[in-house]
Chain A
Amino acid sequence: MGNKQTIFTDEQLDAYQVRLLHGRYHELAPHLVPMDYTNDPDCKLPLALIVNMPELKENPFRNRIVEAFSEDGAGNLSFNEFVDMFSVLSEMAPRELKAIYAFKIYDFNVDNYLCKEDLEKTLNKLTKEELTPEEVELVCEKTIEEADLDGDNKLSFTDFENMISRAPDFLSTFHIRI
């Protein structure tokens, strides 16, 4: 007898879960978010509201996460995108999907490559700028050296995917439970 610990049951993402999510979405801005979606309202919540959710509040990449899932790239999420975000970050999402979005999140300048600046920004966010510039430089160089396959001194998605697919704890850390 296995112990199912899914929050998102798989294909049958159902009224129960969506209602839960909608409840959370609604309580972020009760005046803005309608309870009734049958008329397909066009309502987006700004970045500032979403990054204050308890699940995201402590995450150094919270801004990038929300921006990655928003269509306009500025972090304004409609309910669909909101659901999308938590769906990808849930346990059930496949590894490939997560890798795609992880790449987008860490790509700060949105040029489809993880260049040195992106890596530096990532590192500084992770260590709250505790490392000296030389150390930052060394780490970024080593990272590119390890993962860059096509030799262009920046990580394309393929490089990133190749590296992350072997990471043992990617799936367990790139996971938000709601």
Chain B
Amino acid sequence: MKLLEGAGRRSPPRNGEMPVMMRMTVRMRLPRKNEEEQPIRRKEAKPRTVMRRTVMWGKERRERREEERKEGRRKKTVRVRRVVRRRKRRKMRGSSSDSSSHSDDEEEESLSEGEMARLKEEVEEKKKLIANIRNKPWRMKRRLMHLKEAQTFVDKFEGALGKGKGRKWYAYKVMMTKKWIKFQRDFENFRTACIPWESRIKEVESHFGSSVASYFIFLRWMYGMNLVLFGFTFGLVVIPEVLMGLPYGSVPRKTVPRAEQPTAQDYSVLMDFQGYCKYSVMFYGYYNDQRTIGLLKFRLPLSYLMVGIGTFGYSLMVVIRTMAKNADVGGGDGDEGEFTFSWKMFTSWDYLIGNAETADNKYASITTSFKESIVDEQENQKDENIHLRRFLRVLANFLIICSLGGSGYLIYFVVKRSQEFATRDDLSWYEKNEVEIIMSLLGLLCPPLFETIAELEDYHPRIALKWQLGRIFALFLGNLYTFLFALFDEVNTKLEQEQAIKNSSIWAMKEYYANYSRLVNDSEATPPPMDPADVIRGPCWETAVGIEFVKLTVSDIQVTYLTILIGDFARAVIVRFLNYCWCWDLEAGFPSYGEFDISGNVLGLVFNQGMIWMGAFYAPGLVGINVLRLLSSMYYQCWAVMATNVPHERVFKASKSNNFYMGLLLLILFLSLLPVVYTIMTLPPSFDCGPFSGKAKMFDVIMETIDLDLPAFMGTIFSYAANPGLIIPAVLLMVWFSYKKNRRNNTDSTNQVMKDLEDLLPNRSLIPLAPPPEPEPQAKPTKTKPGSAGKGVNLEKDVALASTNPNTRGPVSRPPGPRGPGSMAGPGGGQGRGRGRGPPLR
């Protein structure tokens, strides 16, 4: 608390062992370590001090004592005298630089190396104390006192160290360091003040608790990451093409074909991302394949590829870094029932609650939770029927696998049908959108179905939750792979078409020239190039893929917003206003107000990000769309939560696996990486659109750059380094390193803590230092019986997204831990049950 030093007080030293002569002026309490050394030093120092008493001022004396008291070597005394004398500018008695002599005759003009080092050490120690003073559990007074001492010392001696050789440079260095620290501090302030939405999130937090707020913190984190990705894409790909590339209409790839021109501006066509939308910077096909563009010779194709790969690299780095940070916050790894009651008693109240209604809810839920645990405890002796339970679990898994298989087949069937439909023209609205509708329905209905089946299994709520999330994830994967399968089919078809079109376009060109020369009757004239709108165009599969992803994202946005509007807002309006004229109490009974479905929303966010990663390579505009989506989501969902949701009634238990959702994000990152990398490596780019047109493979552009732009030897180096045998181990090593780092634990030092606690207590009773705690006391029931848990205990897990890592500099949001499903059979009616938000839908 540096700024409080003006307000702090100095208290008289409590250390009684200080040397007599010093007691009069010293007001510092320094570590008691060197007491046995002091008498010796005192003896040596005394004569000199006495002689100089009249000339030593308070400050000088204090400095000297400071130094004396540092743990160290006896030589210190001599050096101390030297320093003191030097500061007094006494007459020199010699100028030896031998620091080991004890003789009084040693006198130097400048500090020797050893002295300087020692002084530096002391200064460093004091600095460390200043840095750590906040973490010490002392009273404020004591802290301020120490802080002031340490700072005075540092200030004094930073000047002193400057004497001697290079002192000007040292002083300059010190000044620059101070300025730099100040600058850093101001910058940190500025950064903190710039963090967006802080007050909004605080409001949500005080009403709904930390778990709901943690979703918004995660959303904000995603927004930040997407903003950076957007910056890359926009700055390095879109802007150069717009500013330095050819304008619209100049080349075939940038022009709407003649056949489509009449409808190119229609709203419905634009909504489908055809027409003018398709031939814009948003999609891959617009970009030209010139090796360098503009005056600056900007290499656009290379930049495009690098940005595409860099997107993944950056995301990977950020996710792993966040995981590493969050893994530091272990929070203990005890098993389920170890401290049930203790934790309930001491950690169930959420200190963030500032709202009376929320507090009431919390009291109620804590009471319920205690009652449930008591009941469980009392029923603990009941016999379990293992065989029945096993049978039920197997049955449940079988049913779920059946339903997963059923949904997979349904999607496959519908996709096949849509391929048939593609050949027909007279389609009803339903037939046109059948795939999307079916997938949406599956996404909405399957999660609650899984929940219902899972009640057969009778697992502990946390385990049940993990199963549930795993199953939803499997459902999503099914959707995803079906979608990719459909896309891949389309791509292959287009590639086949391309061959045919290539031939026909050459043929058309020849025809055009033949016609032209016939019309003009001048076989020598060079015909003007064909109008770009008339050139026969290839199918451009990359743009088609990009369009698919953009449509998917947009429809996902629409579904999300609609679900909130209808599922939450309309419901709240109905419950509020129809309540006056309805037979039963709508607010307490059936629909009531919705609760915020944290896990559903977080999963949705994670899956959406996966889509973005997959599609960003083919549609650079997609990242921009996502940034806008996240921005509006933040405001919209904050409003929706405050206006239409009620705080959760159920008990929350934080998950221990805080990195669960980050792990999911990482997994999805890899899954998104695969298709893109596959297409870059194996599929040939379209011949007439995009920055890689004309090349055999997309990464040929790198080869080209190495050959043409870089010196020759680098080419050979790269050819060795590009060996997959090197790259894969390198990636694995990197991942391994990041997890190694996570294993480092912070050791608790209970002893010091005990001493400090002692100090803090008003009555100062001595607490005997207890031996290191034994982990397991005697026999105790390890698990409360989960038999009754399924019905009676409605435990839901807190999604602890907010980072509470005290050990890092600026805590990053911790990802959410798994949270219970939206509702289980229990009191209070089915809150949010019908609203299972599944994976993103077409």
Question: Is A126's CB under 8 angstroms from B345's CB?
Answer: yes
Can you list 21 A-B pairs with a CB-CB distance of less than 8 A?
A3-B224, A4-B192, A4-B195, A5-B802, A10-B810, A12-B188, A37-B6, A89-B351, A92-B134, A98-B806, A100-B760, A103-B757, A119-B345, A135-B374, A139-B370, A163-B346, A168-B656, A169-B654, A169-B798, A170-B346, A175-B351
CB neighbours (8 Å) of B225 from chain A are: 1
Question: Is B341's CB under 8 angstroms from A139's CB?
Answer: yes
Q: Does A33 contact B (CB under 8 A)?
A: no
Q: Within the complex, which residue of A54, A128, A167, A177 is in contact with B339, where a contact is CB–CB below 8 Å?
A: A167
Q: Does A52 contact B (CB under 8 A)?
A: no
A103-B757, A167-B331 known; A91-B806 Cβ under 8 A: yes
Please tell me the number of chain A residues within 8 Å of chain B, measured between CB atoms.
96
Q: Within the complex, which residue of A3, A84, A147, A168 is in contact with B217, where a contact is CB–CB below 8 Å?
A: A3
Q: Which of A1-38 contact B (CB under 8 A)?
A: 1-7, 9-16, 18, 37-38
Q: Does B31 contact A (CB under 8 A)?
A: no
A-B residue pairs, 6 tightest by C-beta? A166-B332, A169-B654, A2-B812, A80-B140, A171-B804, A4-B810
Interface centre among B7, B131, B656, B767 (most CB of A within 10 A): B7
Q: Does B338 contact A (CB under 8 A)?
A: yes
Q: Does B321 contact A (CB under 8 A)?
A: yes
Closest beta carbon of chain A to B216's beta carbon, Å: 10
Question: Is A128's CB under 8 angstroms from B367's CB?
Answer: yes
Q: Does B347 contact A (CB under 8 A)?
A: yes
Interface size range of chain B in the complex: 35 or more
CB neighbours (8 Å) of A123 from chain B are: 345, 370
Q: Does B4 contact A (CB under 8 A)?
A: yes
Q: Within the complex, which residue of B144, B342, B351 is in contact with A146, where a contact is CB–CB below 8 Å?
A: B342
Q: Does A76 contact B (CB under 8 A)?
A: no
Question: Is A38's CB under 8 angstroms from B7's CB?
Answer: yes
Q: Within the complex, which residue of A40, A146, A167, A173 is in contact with B210, where a contact is CB–CB below 8 Å?
A: A173
6 more contacts with CB within 8 A, not counting A2-B322, A3-B217, A16-B193, are A58-B355, A87-B134, A89-B351, A96-B137, A138-B374, A156-B770
Measured between alpha carbons, how far is A97 from B753 in the docked complex, in Å? 8
Question: Is A173's CB under 8 angstroms from B351's CB?
Answer: yes
Question: Is B757's CB under 8 angstroms from A100's CB?
Answer: yes
Q: Identify the closest chain B residue to A93 (Cβ).
A: B806
Q: Which of B60-68, B603-611, B773-781 contacts A (4 or more CB under 8 A)?
A: B773-781
Question: Is B333's CB under 8 angstroms from A166's CB?
Answer: yes
Contact with A along B86-121 (1 / 0, CB 8 A): 000000000000000000000000000000000000
Measured between alpha carbons, how far is A150 from B192 in the docked complex, in Å? 45
Number of A-B pairs whose CB atoms are under 8 Å?
298
CB neighbours (8 Å) of B325 from chain A are: 2
Measured between alpha carbons, how far is A89 from B349 in the docked complex, in Å? 14
Closest beta carbon of chain B to A14's beta carbon, Å: 6
Question: Is B333's CB under 8 angstroms from A169's CB?
Answer: no
CB neighbours (8 Å) of A45 from chain B are: none
Q: Does A106 contact B (CB under 8 A)?
A: yes
CB neighbours (8 Å) of B193 from chain A are: 16
Contact with B along A152-177 (1 / 0, CB 8 A): 00001111111111111111111111
CB neighbours (8 Å) of B363 from chain A are: 60, 126-128, 130
Question: Is B349's CB under 8 angstroms from A59's CB?
Answer: yes
Contact with B along A112-139 (1 / 0, CB 8 A): 1000000100110011101100010011
Question: Is A6's CB under 8 angstroms from B356's CB?
Answer: no
Question: Is B654's CB under 8 angstroms from A172's CB?
Answer: yes
A147-B342, A167-B346, A174-B347 known; A54-B811 Cβ under 8 A: no
CB neighbours (8 Å) of A96 from chain B are: 137, 748-749, 753
Q: Identify the closest chain A residue to B808 (Cβ).
A: A10
Q: Does B762 contact A (CB under 8 A)?
A: yes
Question: Is B7's CB under 8 angstroms from A40's CB?
Answer: yes
Measured between alpha carbons, how far is A38 from B7 in the docked complex, in Å? 6
Contact with A along B317-355 (1 / 0, CB 8 A): 010011001000101111000111111011111111111
Measured between alpha carbons, how far is A104 from B758 in the docked complex, in Å? 11
Question: Is B813's CB under 8 angstroms from A172's CB?
Answer: no
B residues near A (Cβ < 8 Å) are 1-4, 6-9, 131, 134-135, 137, 139-141, 144, 184-185, 188-189, 191-193, 195, 198, 201-202, 205, 210, 217, 220-221, 224-225, 227-228, 318, 321-322, 325, 329, 331-334, 338-343, 345-356, 358-359, 363, 366-367, 370-371, 373-374, 377, 652-656, 748-750, 753-754, 756-757, 760-763, 765, 767, 770, 773-774, 777, 780, 798, 800, 802-804, 806-807, 809-813
Measured between alpha carbons, how far is A100 from B338 in the docked complex, in Å? 22
Question: Is A9's CB under 8 angstroms from B748's CB?
Answer: no
Measured between alpha carbons, how far is A106 from B342 in the docked complex, in Å? 12
Question: Is B137's CB under 8 angstroms from A100's CB?
Answer: yes
Q: Identify the closest chain B residue to A72 (Cβ).
A: B762
Contact with B along A72-110 (1 / 0, CB 8 A): 110000111101100101011111111111111010001
CB neighbours (8 Å) of B322 from chain A are: 2
Question: Is A14's CB under 8 angstroms from B189's CB?
Answer: yes
Measured between alpha carbons, how far is A92 from B193 in the docked complex, in Å? 17
Interface centre among B135, B341, B812 (most CB of A within 10 A): B341
Interface centre among A101, A130, A167 (most CB of B within 10 A): A167
CB neighbours (8 Å) of B221 from chain A are: 2-3
Question: Is B367's CB under 8 angstroms from A18's CB?
Answer: no
Question: Is B345's CB under 8 angstroms from A139's CB?
Answer: yes
Q: Identify the closest chain A residue to B201 (Cβ).
A: A5
Q: Identify the closest chain A residue to B222 (Cβ).
A: A3
Closest beta carbon of chain B to A147's beta carbon, Å: 5
Question: Is B137's CB under 8 angstroms from A102's CB?
Answer: no
CB neighbours (8 Å) of A40 from chain B are: 6-9
Q: Within the complex, which residue of A9, A89, A102, A157 is in contact with B189, where a contact is CB–CB below 8 Å?
A: A9
Question: Is A18's CB under 8 angstroms from B804's CB?
Answer: no
Question: Is A9's CB under 8 angstroms from B810's CB?
Answer: yes
Question: Is B345's CB under 8 angstroms from A6's CB?
Answer: no
Measured between alpha carbons, how far is A40 from B4 in the docked complex, in Å? 10
Question: Is B191's CB under 8 angstroms from A4's CB?
Answer: yes
Measured between alpha carbons, how far is A145 from B803 in the docked complex, in Å? 31
CB neighbours (8 Å) of B655 from chain A are: 168
CB neighbours (8 Å) of A12 from chain B are: 184-185, 188-189
CB neighbours (8 Å) of A172 from chain B are: 210, 350, 654, 798, 800, 802, 804
CB neighbours (8 Å) of B347 from chain A are: 164, 167, 169-170, 173-174
CB neighbours (8 Å) of A174 from chain B are: 347, 351
Measured between alpha carbons, how far is A171 from B746 in the docked complex, in Å? 15
Question: Is A165's CB under 8 angstroms from B770's CB?
Answer: no
CB neighbours (8 Å) of B195 from chain A are: 3-5
Measured between alpha carbons, how far is A60 from B660 in the docked complex, in Å? 33
Q: Within the complex, which residue of B4, B9, B811 is in contact with A91, where a contact is CB–CB below 8 Å?
A: B811
Question: Is A11's CB under 8 angstroms from B131's CB?
Answer: yes
Closest beta carbon of chain A to B378's beta carbon, Å: 8
Q: Within the complex, which residue of A112, A161, A171 is in contact with B753, where a contact is CB–CB below 8 Å?
A: A161
Q: Within the complex, which residue of A127, A146, A161, A167 is in contact with B777, where a contact is CB–CB below 8 Å?
A: A146
CB neighbours (8 Å) of A102 from chain B are: 346
CB neighbours (8 Å) of A72 from chain B are: 762
Q: Identify the closest chain A residue to B753 (Cβ).
A: A96
A2-B221, A5-B195 known; A143-B345 Cβ under 8 A: yes
Measured between alpha carbons, how far is A135 from B369 in the docked complex, in Å? 12
Question: Is B135's CB under 8 angstroms from A94's CB?
Answer: yes
Closest beta carbon of chain A to B633's beta carbon, Å: 15
Q: Does A47 contact B (CB under 8 A)?
A: no
Question: Is B757's CB under 8 angstroms from A80's CB?
Answer: no
Question: Is B654's CB under 8 angstroms from A9's CB?
Answer: no
Question: Is B753's CB under 8 angstroms from A94's CB?
Answer: no
Question: Is B192's CB under 8 angstroms from A158's CB?
Answer: no
CB neighbours (8 Å) of B757 from chain A are: 100, 103, 112, 157
Question: Is A83's CB under 8 angstroms from B767's CB?
Answer: no
CB neighbours (8 Å) of A1 from chain B are: 224-225, 227-228, 318
Closest beta carbon of chain A to B359's beta carbon, Å: 4
Measured between alpha carbons, how far is A144 from B588 in the docked complex, in Å? 38
Measured between alpha carbons, how far is A80 from B366 in the docked complex, in Å? 34
Measured between alpha carbons, how far is A62 from B809 in the docked complex, in Å? 29
CB neighbours (8 Å) of A147 from chain B are: 339, 342
